[in-house]
């Protein structure tokens, strides 16, 4: 069954109205524009791939029959020092971060959502295509890669070059704003003129984007995210217990017991024990981290995100307010923190909803665009409105 992107909304509208009247209007519009109205439907072709090149995780989605086959791995490359010889990519390389012997370096090619090392990012893109195609890159014809809204031309070109190196022609590589991909992947009615909003709170960056008529009308990209929360946890623990914990431990504590301060949602306070280094004795020491400490660590990040949303609300025209009120979706791993959604609602008065699959929507949206690039064409979007 083809996946309908723009069809649903139109159908709903038709049911609400007098059919005969609608048909008459449809005919008038057809004459006016001389184009056949058409439901854009996507045949799920296995020869396309969507890639979300994230600071922390790379996610690959491949349309398979009626759903997506999802693969993901940490965006980390380990290479032999002084060479370009790749020793490991993904989980194995992630474990090496901060722990490598002298002759190995483990790198996260993306920092704060930006490609910091083009050379290493290429390895990630190529690995994504290999993993996503079940080790058969020649079976892939078209790839769409989600990048932050403010990605530079050099970064976009680097992604195209990397895919070209595994045999996919540059013309068949689409580089797409990841906020738009997230909106498409979470099924938001992006083609409508009413406006929708996406908040993508990731590891290294957070995007707030307003979309209307299928394009981005306003966007703020901030270089903050879950990574900063992890670092704040390390700092708070050291201040309070004089114990230094590793960043992996901090992240684990955040995921297992973390929360965001909220007044409207009752959140159970939990505790987790972690081991760090006592800075007085230099010996290992066990300490307890609770949800409240994580909430304090998350607070500066949450406040920045809230401020960005409110700045956008200050700027947007009133025509877009009701659409945003009805259709704001939170995506990205950081949005999964307990209380995050409630806090956004408290501070912005927008009843946001958390995406069903906050970690994979960008890749899925990109896969839809790869399967049907016309999704992005203005004529198609406008036609879908009718
Ligand atoms: N259940 C959870 N609770 C809180 N944080 C989580 C949870 N699951 C994942 N995270 C955090 O989400 C972040 C990863 O999210 P995501 O995969 O969306 O980021 P990314 O796309 O790699 O980064 P970016 O978009 O900034 O480039 C990490 O900081 C991770 O610790
Ligand atoms: Mg992301």
In degrees rounded to 5, what are phi and psi of residue 200?
-110, 100
Give the mean pLDDT of 206-213.
Answer: 93
CATH of domain 1-75+109-186+358-386: 3.30.420.40
Position in ligand 1 atom list of the atom nearest CA 226: 29
Give the mean pLDDT of 208-230.
Answer: 93
Q: Is the CB of 178 under 6 A from ligand 1?
A: no
Predicted confidence at residue 173, as pLDDT, reads 94
Q: Is the CB of 227 under 6 A from ligand 1?
A: yes
The residue whose CB lies within 8 Å of the most ligand 1 atoms, and thus the one to mutate among 52, 55, 56, is 56
Contact indicator for 80, 104 with CB cutoff of 8 Å: yes
3 state DSSP class of 60:
strand
Sorted by where each begins, the domain ranges of the chain are 1-75+109-186+358-386, 189-355
Give residue-wise pLDDT tens across range 323-338.
999 999 999 999 999 9
The residue whose CB lies within 8 Å of the most ligand 1 atoms, and thus the one to mutate among 74, 334, 337, 360, is 334
pLDDT interval class at 113 (50, 70, 90): confident
pLDDT interval class at 44 (50, 70, 90): low
From the centroid of its chain, how far is CA 324? 19
Give the number of the ligand closest to the Cα of residue 54: 1
Tokens standing for residue 232: 């704040």
Nearest alpha carbon, ligand 1 atom 20: 54
Q: Is the CB of 336 under 6 A from ligand 1?
A: yes
Q: Is the CB of 332 under 6 A from ligand 1?
A: yes
What's the 337 CA to ligand 1 centre distance in angstroms?
10
Position in ligand 1 atom list of the atom nearest CA 254: 4
Range in 116-125, 309-318, 328-337 with the lowest mean pLDDT: 116-125
Q: Is the CB of 149 under 6 A from ligand 1?
A: no
Q: What share of the chain in percent tops pLDDT 70?
A: 86
Position in ligand 1 atom list of the atom nearest CA 58: 22
Tokens standing for residue 32: 């006016």
pLDDT interval class at 3 (50, 70, 90): very low
The residue whose CB lies within 8 Å of the most ligand 1 atoms, and thus the one to mutate among 145, 259, 333, is 333
Q: Is the CB of 204 under 6 A from ligand 1?
A: yes
What's the 197 CA to ligand 2 centre distance in angstroms?
16
- Distance CA(139)–CA(47), nearest Å, equals 6
Give residue-wise pLDDT tens across range 12-38.
444 455 555 655 655 555 444 443 434
Comparing 84 with 78, which gets the higher pLDDT?
Answer: 78
Nearest alpha carbon, ligand 1 atom 9: 333
Q: Is the CB of 226 under 6 A from ligand 1?
A: yes
What's the 196 CA to ligand 2 centre distance in angstroms?
19
- Distance CA(17)–CA(263), nearest Å, equals 42
Position in ligand 1 atom list of the atom nearest CA 338: 3
Predicted confidence at residue 110, as pLDDT, reads 82
Q: Is the CB of 109 under 6 A from ligand 1?
A: no
- Distance CA(133)–CA(284), nearest Å, equals 44
Tokens standing for residue 28: 């008038």
Predicted confidence at residue 193, as pLDDT, reads 83
Give residue-wise pLDDT tens across range 183-204.
999 888 888 888 999 999 999 9
pLDDT interval class at 384 (50, 70, 90): very low
- Distance CA(163)–CA(274), nearest Å, equals 41
Give the mean pLDDT of 150-170.
Answer: 86
Residue 88 has pLDDT above 90, yes or no: yes
CATH topology of domain 189-355: Nucleotidyltransferase; domain 5 (3.30.420)
The stretches of the chain forming alpha helices (DSSP H) are 7-16, 19-33, 91-96, 118-132, 153-165, 178-185, 226-241, 247-257, 291-315, 321-326, 340-348, 361-371, 378-384
The residue whose CB lies within 8 Å of the most ligand 1 atoms, and thus the one to mutate among 111, 203, 272, is 203
Predicted confidence at residue 33, as pLDDT, reads 43
Written as one string, the DSSP assignment of 321-379 is HHHHHH-EEEESGGGGSBTHHHHHHHHH----EE-SSTTTHHHHHHHHHHH-GGGG-HH
pLDDT interval class at 6 (50, 70, 90): very low
What's the 193 CA to ligand 2 centre distance in angstroms?
26
- Distance CA(161)–CA(118), nearest Å, equals 10
Q: Do domains 1-75+109-186+358-386 and 189-355 have the same CATH topology?
A: yes
What's the 317 CA to ligand 1 centre distance in angstroms?
31
């Amino acid at each position: 069954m083809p996946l309908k992107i723009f069809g649903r909304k139109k159908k709903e509208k038709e049911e609400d109205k007098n059919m005969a009247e609608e048909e008459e209007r449809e005919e008038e519009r057809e004459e006016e524009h001389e184009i056949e109205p058409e439901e854009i439907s996507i045949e799920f072709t296995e020869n396309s791939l969507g890639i979300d090149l994230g600071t922390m995780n790379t996610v690959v989605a491949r349309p398979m029959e009626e759903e997506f086959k999802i693969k993901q791995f940490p965006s980390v490359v380990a290479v032999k020092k002084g060479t370009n010889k790749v020793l490991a990519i993904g989980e194995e390389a992630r474990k090496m971060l901060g722990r490598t012997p002298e002759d190995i370096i483990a790198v996260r090619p993306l920092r704060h959502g930006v490609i910091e090392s083009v050379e290493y990012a290429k390895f990630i893109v190529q690995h994504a295509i290999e993993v996503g195609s079940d080790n058969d890159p020649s079976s892939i014809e078209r790839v769409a890669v989600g990048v932050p809204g403010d990605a530079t031309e050099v970064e976009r070109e680097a992604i195209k070059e990397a895919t070209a190196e595994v045999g996919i022609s540059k013309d068949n590589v689409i580089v797409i704003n990841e906020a738009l991909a997230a909106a498409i992947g979470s099924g938001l009615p992006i083609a409508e003129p009413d406006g929708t909003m996406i908040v993508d709170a990731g590891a290294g960056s957070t995007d707030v984007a307003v979309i209307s008529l299928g394009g981005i009308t306003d966007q703020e990209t901030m270089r903050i995210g879950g990574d900063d929360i992890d670092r704040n946890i390390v700092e708070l623990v050291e201040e309070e217990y004089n114990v230094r914990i590793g960043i992996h431990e901090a992240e684990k504590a955040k995921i297992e017991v973390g929360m965001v301060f909220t007044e409207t949602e009752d959140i159970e306070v939990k505790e987790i024990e972690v081991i760090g280094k006592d800075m007085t004795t230099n010996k290992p020491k066990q300490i307890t981290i609770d949800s409240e400490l994580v909430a304090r660590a998350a607070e500066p990040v949450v406040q920045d995100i809230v401020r960005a949303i409110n700045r956008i609300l200050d700027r947007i025209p009133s025509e877009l307010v009701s659409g945003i009120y009805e259709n704001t979706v939170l995506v990205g791993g950081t949005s999964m923190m307990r209380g995050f959604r409630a806090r956004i609602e408290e501070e912005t008065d927008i009843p946001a909803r958390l995406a069903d699959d906050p970690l994979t929507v960008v890749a899925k949206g990109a896969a839809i665009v790869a399967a049907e690039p016309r999704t992005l064409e203005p004529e198609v979007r406008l036609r879908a409105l009718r």
